[in-house]
Chains A and B, each alone.
Chain A
């Protein structure tokens, strides 16, 4: 078979034209006759008892159809890890922006006006905003009675304001400290980052007269939404149809329910379709964002630069509800050692409730925070040992056969090659040092998520192929890549394959689009489904061709006998024959659960993600110049190398890397959701600074391919690592340029200037 013609080639996107022509339909584009518009009332206090809610005045407003408060909605608590989230805040509000009531009205403006007319009597409670304070004695408890909450994730460690904790240890840390020649300690802190997708959350729901719920939503995980809706609405899952619209960016921020349940409840109540679309300010005060984090690191090394031991404590500010917090804390713990051999270690990572919105998954969750801390700390150690940062890393780099933090045996470790390659393209060893210019290096080892993917491949009467899956393409390009994989397996041109995604009524189950899992795991499912289809086709053709099925092959849309190629039948004829004469419509199907990996069970506690079906690797070199008078940092060059395992589509791979680097650059230099107490002071895209095209530095990319045994053709995800790299690489380059180490993001001019001034004062 003409293998490898399709894999690795730069195919254009299967959804390109409809997106370029403006006819792709996103969440905000859905409209229905008679549709009502919904709005919620948000708590103006970060922590308050709700004494009384009076909707009388609001209800009288003409055009208002219904108003729901906590007492009118199902008394269930939902949550992906901890079931701690009420449908609407009833007894108390846990963050400023939390919905207390929802209104449905004939017009959006009427719904807005009605929400403002709802009168609420509050009794303010003492809030807590800092995760360190939230752990202290006497800190206000954000969830009284949290012990009683059910957990969707078994084995979570929870107490007080802690909603999840991962503890990992290895070797004998005490012995490690004794063996160390030098000990380094640092504290890092990272800001809250807004996902910044341009498409607002928008949902439309309707009930039909049979009591069946249909819901259109811009989501990364249709089945997760269906499951949560089932729980909240008290409906069996087969009475709920979730239809994923085109997604205008997700980055982890559209994996969970946001307003789907509000629309569903209002639609059930009014008997009309109900739409809700969030404003940017609601997105930035109610929906999730990247966790702010405080990280303490302490590392013992030998004089020659060998790492002996590390102690790490990570505090993830999770906000008023747990969301994916316990998982994010686990991923931070798993990443904090970096790709370095560390004989002894102790890691403690906590997800802590505070009075802010719920922080949850965002591209590279946990890893982005941990990566900044680990790689800045590594750089400091190298400098103080007078070692080149590259040599210091190479000295400690893991390789095949080593174990990860959780004790998983590492295989197909791609870091060595990526590091060599980035050193080469950046000319690291010959780098030129000039005044106020500096170079920084950063490595990343992250992990991808496996779980379940299933695929359905239908052969139509005319021999054309249709791939039906639940995994949403939120822009990263999975539908194109999966079409390529199916084309490769069926030896058919990729542009002849149709892909339908994202309808729970038609697609078999998939866990969702996150954690670099779609190409990886759904890729395997598509291969399996294609093989299943071929088995059926060969058995049908065997009878027609009078050849044994094992002898048959599928080449150029013909099924033929390998030894006797003139015995052949076209896919079209076979399809026709199957439909009308034998076997019935052929369908290939598969369901793939990513293999579980063994890990050091007894050394890992409370970790929902103790092992991964594949690690991911990348390295970056950055050159910056710093203006000592203004504190302005200019990123002159970025060199970035990423291990793709096996590239399925180079354009898609590059796109993920380029986009991820810019998101990481924003995180490093500008982006921060700023809080004043519990209030977000910049909930708009003018005061919250994301990079424009003008902010793009020169970026050079290289891709290495260390095939991973579990991925399709050896592929692994490439979407997350690019975001992990820039923050530490730039901070390290700033240090190289002007001698100050900044342990807090973003690296704003104020912060750089302040550090320079403090440094100068210290020298005096």
Chain B
């Protein structure tokens, strides 16, 4: 099978890979880079478990072909904590019991990050709307909404603790 060169940045690291035309970004992340924090739930864009940020936008990595990510900057859940300090959203998810089985969690956290980057003060309904491409079968969503609501921007726009 013909291989294609792919250059992309994942969690701040530049990679040069060889991929098949049919491979998805999810395959690159999970299989080539072994970053299994990006989950897989449906392979059809329905569940949101595979969500990552591509140039800051929340996308479902099972729907993006690897070659479409050429030159892009990808952030996966593994890249969110800085120097061992959890991102405020990660803290909030842990503290609010917004995690049960945890399988939707990486996708939920990254989608929430995209939301807060766009809109630092979302209402409960804004959060509900924005997260409605991500299934959570365990929590019933309330504690996820509580967690996201609890993260408020510090002055200067960076998200900090409430």
- Asked if A761 is an interface residue, CB under 8 A from chain B, the answer is no
- Asked if A21 is an interface residue, CB under 8 A from chain B, the answer is yes
- Asked if B33 is an interface residue, CB under 8 A from chain A, the answer is no
Q: In the complex, A443 Cα to B44 Cα: how many Å? A: 39
Q: In the complex, A247 Cα to B67 Cα: how many Å? A: 32
Q: In the complex, A259 Cα to B42 Cα: how many Å? A: 18
A364 shortest CB reach to chain B, Å: 14
Q: Which residues of A contact B103 (CB under 8 A)?
A: 26, 197-199, 248-249, 475
A425 shortest CB reach to chain B, Å: 16
A375 shortest CB reach to chain B, Å: 21
Q: In the complex, A651 Cα to B142 Cα: how many Å? A: 11
A622 shortest CB reach to chain B, Å: 15
User: Contact at B78–A197, with CB atoms within 8 Å?
Assistant: no
User: Contact at B138–A13, with CB atoms within 8 Å?
Assistant: no
- Asked if B34 is an interface residue, CB under 8 A from chain A, the answer is yes
* Given A197-B137, A690-B135, A246:B102 Cβ within 8 A: yes
Task: Report which of A20, A246, A657, A690 forms a contact with B137, defined as CB distance below 8 A.
Answer: A690
User: Contact at B145–A693, with CB atoms within 8 Å?
Assistant: yes
- Asked if B46 is an interface residue, CB under 8 A from chain A, the answer is yes
User: Contact at B81–A652, with CB atoms within 8 Å?
Assistant: no
* Given A12-B97, A198-B137, A651-B97, A24:B102 Cβ within 8 A: yes
Q: In the complex, A17 Cα to B106 Cα: how many Å? A: 11
User: Contact at B140–A28, with CB atoms within 8 Å?
Assistant: no
Total A-B contacts with CB atoms under 8 angstroms apart? 181
- Asked if B71 is an interface residue, CB under 8 A from chain A, the answer is no
Chain B at the A interface: SS class: loop
User: Contact at A21–B138, with CB atoms within 8 Å?
Assistant: no
- Asked if A410 is an interface residue, CB under 8 A from chain B, the answer is no
Query: Which residues of chain A in 680-732 are interfacial with respect to chain B, using CB atoms and an 8 Å cutoff?
Result: 684-686, 690, 692-694, 696, 699
Q: In the complex, A192 Cα to B84 Cα: how many Å? A: 45
User: Contact at B143–A23, with CB atoms within 8 Å?
Assistant: no
Closest to A655 in B: B97
* Given A12-B95, A197-B103, A20:B135 Cβ within 8 A: no
User: Contact at A693–B131, with CB atoms within 8 Å?
Assistant: yes
Closest to A195 in B: B137
User: Contact at B129–A694, with CB atoms within 8 Å?
Assistant: yes
Q: Which residues of B contact A24 (CB under 8 A)?
A: 102
B49 shortest CB reach to chain A, Å: 5
User: Contact at A692–B133, with CB atoms within 8 Å?
Assistant: yes
User: Contact at B144–A693, with CB atoms within 8 Å?
Assistant: yes
Please count how many residues in chain A sit with their CB below 8 Å of the partner chain's CB atoms: 56
Q: Mark A653-673, 1 if CB is under 8 A from B, else 0.
A: 011011111110000000000
Interface 9-residue window, one of B2-10, B53-61, B86-94, B150-158: B86-94
Q: In the complex, A483 Cα to B151 Cα: how many Å? A: 28
B154 shortest CB reach to chain A, Å: 20
Q: Which residues of A contact B69 (CB under 8 A)?
A: none
- Asked if B101 is an interface residue, CB under 8 A from chain A, the answer is yes
Q: Mark B110-139, 1 if CB is under 8 A from A, else 0.
A: 000000000000000001110111111111
B17 shortest CB reach to chain A, Å: 17
* Given A19-B102, A248-B39, A198:B49 Cβ within 8 A: yes
- Asked if A158 is an interface residue, CB under 8 A from chain B, the answer is no
User: Contact at B128–A21, with CB atoms within 8 Å?
Assistant: no
B101 shortest CB reach to chain A, Å: 3
- Asked if A280 is an interface residue, CB under 8 A from chain B, the answer is yes
Q: Which residues of B contact A694 (CB under 8 A)?
A: 128-129, 132
User: Contact at A20–B41, with CB atoms within 8 Å?
Assistant: no
- Asked if B38 is an interface residue, CB under 8 A from chain A, the answer is yes
A434 shortest CB reach to chain B, Å: 23
User: Contact at A684–B46, with CB atoms within 8 Å?
Assistant: yes
Q: Which residues of A contact B149 (CB under 8 A)?
A: none
- Asked if B104 is an interface residue, CB under 8 A from chain A, the answer is yes
* Given A20-B99, A22-B78, A651-B97, A659:B135 Cβ within 8 A: no
Q: Which residues of B contact A651 (CB under 8 A)?
A: 96-97, 143
- Asked if B24 is an interface residue, CB under 8 A from chain A, the answer is no
Q: Which residues of B contact A280 (CB under 8 A)?
A: 41-44, 46
Task: Report which of B95, B102, B129 forms a contact with A248, defined as CB distance below 8 A.
Answer: B102
B46 shortest CB reach to chain A, Å: 4
Q: Which residues of A contact B86 (CB under 8 A)?
A: 17, 20-21
- Asked if B100 is an interface residue, CB under 8 A from chain A, the answer is yes
Closest to B22 in A: A109
B133 shortest CB reach to chain A, Å: 7
Query: Which residues of chain A in 457-480 are interfacial with respect to chain B, using CB atoms and an 8 Å cutoff?
Result: 474-477
Q: Which residues of A contact B38 (CB under 8 A)?
A: 22
- Asked if A251 is an interface residue, CB under 8 A from chain B, the answer is yes
A105 shortest CB reach to chain B, Å: 15
User: Contact at B140–A685, with CB atoms within 8 Å?
Assistant: no
Query: Which residues of chain A in 314-356 are interfacial with respect to chain B, using CB atoms and an 8 Å cutoff?
Result: none
- Asked if B77 is an interface residue, CB under 8 A from chain A, the answer is yes
Q: Which residues of A contact B37 (CB under 8 A)?
A: 21-23
User: Contact at A196–B135, with CB atoms within 8 Å?
Assistant: yes
Query: Which residues of chain B in 64-87 are interfacial with respect to chain A, using CB atoms and an 8 Å cutoff?
Result: 76-78, 80-81, 86
User: Contact at B39–A249, with CB atoms within 8 Å?
Assistant: no
Q: Which residues of A contact B135 (CB under 8 A)?
A: 196, 198, 685, 690, 692
Q: In the complex, A690 Cα to B42 Cα: how many Å? A: 13
User: Contact at B140–A249, with CB atoms within 8 Å?
Assistant: no
Q: In the complex, A349 Cα to B116 Cα: how many Å? A: 52
Closest to B37 in A: A22
User: Contact at B127–A686, with CB atoms within 8 Å?
Assistant: no
A640 shortest CB reach to chain B, Å: 11
User: Contact at A655–B100, with CB atoms within 8 Å?
Assistant: yes
- In this complex, the member of B38, B46, B95, B142 whose beta carbon has the largest number of chain A beta carbons within 10 angstroms is B142
Q: In the complex, A696 Cα to B128 Cα: how many Å? A: 8
Q: Which residues of B contact A17 (CB under 8 A)?
A: 86, 90, 94
B85 shortest CB reach to chain A, Å: 11
Closest to B45 in A: A686
Closest to A701 in B: B142
User: Contact at A474–B101, with CB atoms within 8 Å?
Assistant: yes
Q: In the complex, A662 Cα to B46 Cα: how many Å? A: 18
User: Contact at B131–A22, with CB atoms within 8 Å?
Assistant: no
Q: Which residues of A contact B131 (CB under 8 A)?
A: 692-693
Q: Which residues of B contact A195 (CB under 8 A)?
A: 137
User: Contact at A20–B94, with CB atoms within 8 Å?
Assistant: yes
Q: In the complex, A696 Cα to B136 Cα: how many Å? A: 12
- Asked if A25 is an interface residue, CB under 8 A from chain B, the answer is yes
User: Contact at A655–B105, with CB atoms within 8 Å?
Assistant: no
Task: Report which of A23, A26, A660 forms a contact with B140, defined as CB distance below 8 A.
Answer: A660
B104 shortest CB reach to chain A, Å: 6
User: Contact at B143–A200, with CB atoms within 8 Å?
Assistant: no
Q: Which residues of B contact A677 (CB under 8 A)?
A: none
B35 shortest CB reach to chain A, Å: 8
A219 shortest CB reach to chain B, Å: 13
- Asked if B63 is an interface residue, CB under 8 A from chain A, the answer is no
Q: Mark A185-208, 1 if CB is under 8 A from B, else 0.
A: 000000000011111100000000
- Further pairs besides A20-B94, A22-B35, A696-B145: 12, Cβ < 8 Å: A15-B102, A20-B77, A20-B102, A197-B137, A200-B41, A248-B41, A279-B43, A655-B139, A659-B140, A684-B42, A693-B132, A693-B134
The 10 closest A-B pairs by CB, nearest first: A22-B37, A19-B102, A475-B101, A248-B103, A22-B77, A658-B140, A475-B100, A662-B140, A16-B94, A685-B46
Where the two chains meet, the residues of A that have a C-beta atom closer than 8 Å to any C-beta of B are 10, 12-13, 15-26, 28-29, 31, 195-200, 246-251, 279-280, 474-477, 651-652, 654-655, 657-663, 684-686, 690, 692-694, 696, 699
A-B contact pairs, 18 of them (CB 8 A): A13-B94, A20-B86, A22-B35, A22-B37, A22-B77, A23-B37, A23-B78, A26-B103, A198-B135, A246-B101, A279-B43, A475-B100, A661-B140, A684-B46, A693-B129, A693-B134, A696-B140, A696-B142
